[in-house]
Structure 1
Amino acid sequence: MNKPYNILLYYCYSPIADPEAYREEHHLLCLELNMLGRIIVSNEGLNGTVSGLKADCEKYMQTMKSDPRFAKIDFKVDASEAHAFTKLHVRTKAEIVHSGLLHVDPNVRTGVHLSPKEFKDMKDREDVVVLDVRSDYEHSVGRFKNAVTLDIENFREFPEKVGELKEKYKDKKVLTYCTGGIKCEKASAFLLEQGFENVYQLHGGIIKYGMEAGGEDFEGKCYVFDNRVAVEVNRVNPTVVSECHVCGTKSDRMVNCANPVCNLHVPICEKCGWELDGACSAECKEHPEKRPYDGTGYYQKETNGYNPLKGFNRRKSSGVQQ
């Protein structure tokens, strides 16, 4: 059965002269097309994950590509039964993905882009190391077989790990990958800046690899930043690599602890989920603010007071961002 909605994942490094003005223009476009999701606008470009009805998504992509600044956007499109978001947020920030590498421009220099097939053909060679540039909670639930992973809580910690990587892998061809490709743009550029000579990146990331190469040798699920939390990628040789936080059995069922003060985001098997009523521990189960558990471990953020037009009448000179 055809699913009526699409989920779009995309980014584009392309200069935007007035990010705040474009933020408002883009916000209005999303409202017109009934799109929901999260979009970051910066003077270096755009980064977004949005959902909408198929026809609305088609109009959205056509409108974006008709703008010369964003003609090169590579949309990753996935079918869905419903919206993957409940709100629309279009925000301006200093970077479209927070790295702290403000001086790095992927349009000037970045790693060689590999198609999913090229990545698949190279990844197991002896002179190659496959590097996951994502955060620990992302690669804990899924990563490429034999990939090097980093103990980082967020991407802005990546530069701190490069010295250690250089000691071990400076003579290797480094193949970087992430969810949709955006982190690799700056990660691979920074590796080149720091003296690595042969740096590549998986174009379109794990998502595109799953779509075009069947996801072969990607073990576990891919963490995503929408209501789905984690998605299947591998249709060739799937496996589960993550373990239940409570009992240690194999599980890729990502859950937010029902205690909102804790809110730990970890794999918890269905059995332990019900036994702890959605909590990650006995202590959290007894917490007075614990949320009701419905078996999913996903808790929708409150939408009370949500206004998609909030902030449109700001004074330009105030510098306030919504």
Structure 2
Amino acid sequence: MNTYQTLLYYCYSPIENAEEFAAQHLEFCKSLNLVGRIIVADEGLNGTVSGSPDSCKQYMEAVHADPRFAKTEFKIDDVSELSFIKMHCRYKPEIVHSGLRDPKSIDPNRETGKHLEPQEFLAMKDQEDVVVLDVRSNYEHSVGRFKNAVTLDIENFREFPEKVKELAQYKGKKILTYCTGGIKCEKASALLLKEGFEDVYQLHGGIIKYGKEAGGEDFEGKCYVFDNRVTVEVNSVNPSVVSTCKNCGKVSSKMINCANPDCNEHFTQCDECGWEMQGCCSTICTEHPRKRLYDGTGYYVKVPQPVNLEKISKRKHKNFPPKEQITAH
């Protein structure tokens, strides 16, 4: 039974005093009993939040009531349990790390690829003069991607600008970019235009919206998401599995994080190997002294860090006066 909702959204819109806004927005989300992860930057918002339908409704109404975010489009999933454990809302320089020395050199509010609605994307993607480009990271497209899509060997989106030169062979074609919810495509398509690609498009709303409005047709595998669910089904037309277990090679769509916190690799692993390897990607990782307890999900809320006693000692000395100064008053 689905008793909760998960909202995926973003909005490129300038925010003054963004760091202060992030702190206030965190308290607002907590007041609605929402959990999730929101990034706030001077350029806008990027978030996934989860809560009761009523809390999610109040949140969406509040966001839309703010003129800065009135254009925000929410992708709504009905879920059986909350998709996060806690609520985080943090200020960062960008809502998507572009990897550019001057992030302001591209602005999705000024120039970006032509937005294609899911049905338009479906109609165009197999045309002869079209290249479908996945702008996501390796661990994302390894578990699911569009049929015949061009994928890039990147660990993080900030590596995308360096990969653009590898796409020069496609400059005479129509480039159809896609990602999970559309946010990375805003910057990827803007960068492609800046680099001389003339006919650039993006899948509006990303894979998630495509699954809801076009049945996910020809999306092979599952879609990686950045919450407790890890991956979600999007194709109800011609579903398939494209990923294989890192350890035994058997077809599997289950993606986990390595139980070794120092490794924490995203990889695909079948249930059988998961229990045998204790949720680790290799034998070496199974022997790590800080290996986390594998519960069959391979999802860990927080990677514990070793206590830095030297740093704590320095902080104490910095923040507190010597004992003799305290007793002197």
Tell me whether the two structures share a fold, i.e. TM-score over 0.5.
Answer: yes
Map of 2:148 onto structure 1 = 146
Counterpart code for 1:128: V
Aligned length in residues: 301
Map of 1:132 onto structure 2 = 134
Map of 1:268 onto structure 2 = 269
Instruction: Give a deviation string over 1:257-300, Cα, whole Å, max 9, x none.
Output: 22222222200111111222222222222333222222222223
Map of 2:106 onto structure 1 = 104
Give 1:87 shift: 1.3
Larger mean Cα displacement after TM superposition, 276-285 or 53-62: 276-285
TM-score for both structures, normalised by structure 2 = 0.89
Calculate percent identity across the aligned residue pairs: 67
Larger mean Cα displacement after TM superposition, 50-59 or 21-30: 21-30
- Superposed counterparts of 1:124-273, under 5 Å: 124-166=126-168, 168-273=169-274
Q: Secondary structure at the match of 1:146?
A: coil
Instruction: Give a deviation string over 1:287-321, Cα, whole Å, max 9, x none.
Output: 33222222222223279xxxxxxxxxxxxxxxxxx
Map of 1:14 onto structure 2 = 13
Q: Secondary structure at the match of 1:102?
A: helix
Q: Give, in whole Å, the separation in 2 of the partners of 1:254 and 1:156.
A: 22
Map of 1:64 onto structure 2 = 63
Map of 1:36 onto structure 2 = 35
Larger mean Cα displacement after TM superposition, 140-149 or 36-45: 36-45
Counterpart code for 1:56: S
Q: Is the 8 A contact 1:95 1:102 kept in 2?
A: no
Give 1:31 shift: 1.3
Give 1:103 shift: 1.8
Instruction: Give a deviation string over 1:203-252, Cα, whole Å, max 9, x none.
Output: 00000000111100000111110001111111111111111000111111
Which protein shows a greater Rg? 2
Q: Is the 8 A contact 2:23 2:90 kept in 1?
A: no
Q: Is the 8 A contact 1:38 1:88 kept in 2?
A: yes
Gaps of 5+ in 1: 304-322
- Superposed counterparts of 1:238-317, under 5 Å: 238-301=239-302
TM-score for both structures, normalised by structure 1 = 0.91
Gaps of 5+ in 2: 305-329
Larger mean Cα displacement after TM superposition, 255-264 or 78-87: 255-264
Q: Give, in whole Å, the separation in 2 of the partners of 1:266 and 1:298.
A: 11
Map of 1:118 onto structure 2 = 120
Instruction: Give a deviation string over 1:187-210, Cα, whole Å, max 9, x none.
Output: 101111111110000000000000
Say what the alpha-carbon RMSD is for the aligned residues. Answer: 1.3
Counterpart code for 2:45: L
